[in-house]
Amino acid sequence: MPRTISYKPYIPNFLKGLIARAAELVEDWAGARFSGLVAATPTIGNRFRSVNNNVAIVNNYPRIEEIELSIDAAIEKPDAATLLYVGMRITRARGAEEMVRAMGLLPDNLQARLRVVGDWNPAELPRALSSIPGWARTDYVGPVDRTGIARELRKASIGLVILHPEPNYVASQPVKLFEYMCAGIPVIVSDFPVCREIVGKARCGFLVNPLDPHEIARAVEYLLTHPEEAEEMGRRGFQAVHENYNWANEEKIYCKCTTGF
């Protein structure tokens, strides 16, 4: 929570530092009083080990069976290549403006659309983005359930994780990244240390400056004009999720936690 305060638009800037510090003190005080803590990422776990000796890391990786592509479940790809963003919320800090601007920088001969899934936050954000040229190539899907997410993933050509360099995002392991990989599509991801390790090791996509729409557009154009390389990246991401980044592996750790630390 303390690392999320910096990008909360409803908190006045002059109060953010104070609120973040207060939130951290409360979390540390509470964390020291639990018999054990389960953290969703190594970064979070490392933080709480300073106040509690019993910390387990259970990564929030996807359930393969929710997304698994099979011959029976396959959905025909649309005529235009589909760039996909999936999230609970669509915000500026999660790259909404940069994604739309990148779409406007793509050559006219590239048949590509951006599909965004989730709730706009704030609600007036679409109005602000509508004046950007890439808006004409953007489709808003809205919030969907897990089945709907799987359906969108099956239609997608590229998965986008364009998070801004906010403290909470820099050290995060975005669930959507692993969902894209599980769907077998190449990814374009913010060049942060954690994401760099995952994407670099799997060789499943491109790392970009999330504040540079031109760099994002170049990565998109390359993937769309080199379909064989893009497909191979997707395969490598798919394999990495099956071998490492899946809930079946993490569930074993979680089950141990339920029997005591």
Domain boundaries, the chain: 2-62+249-258, 64-243
Q: How confident is the model at residue 73 (pLDDT cuts 50, 70, 90)?
A: low
Q: Is 84 exposed, middle or buried (0-12, 13-18, 19+ CB in 10 A)?
A: buried
Region 16-35: mean pLDDT is 95
Q: How confident is the model at residue 207 (pLDDT cuts 50, 70, 90)?
A: very high
Q: How confident is the model at residue 69 (pLDDT cuts 50, 70, 90)?
A: low
Beta-bridged to residue 115, according to DSSP, are 84, 139
Closest CA relative to residue 173, chosen from 190, 148, 157: 190
Q: Would you state the pLDDT for residue 261? A: 63
Separation between Cα atoms, residue 255 and residue 126, nearest integer Å: 43
pLDDT tens profile 101-158: 999 999 999 999 999 999 999 999 999 999 999 999 999 999 999 889 999 999 999 9
Q: Would you state the pLDDT for residue 72? A: 45
Separation between Cα atoms, residue 261 and residue 240, nearest integer Å: 29
Separation between Cα atoms, residue 218 and residue 88, nearest integer Å: 27
Region 173-186: mean pLDDT is 96
Q: Would you state the pLDDT for residue 8? A: 85
- On the question of pLDDT at 76 being above 80, the answer is no
Mean pLDDT of the chain: 92
Amino acid (1-letter code) at residue 241: V
Region 41-62: mean pLDDT is 93
The CATH number of 64-243 is 3.40.50.2000
- On the question of pLDDT at 250 being above 70, the answer is yes
Q: Would you state the pLDDT for residue 3? A: 87
Count of residues in the chain: 261
Counting other chains too, the contacts that 106-112 makes at CB distance below 8 Å and 24 or more residues apart are 106/134, 106/137, 106/217, 106/220, 106/221, 107/221, 110/81, 110/221, 110/224, 110/225, 111/79, 111/80, 111/81, 112/80, 112/81, 112/82, 112/83, 112/137, 112/157, 112/220, 112/224
Region 182-196: mean pLDDT is 96
Q: Would you state the pLDDT for residue 57? A: 94
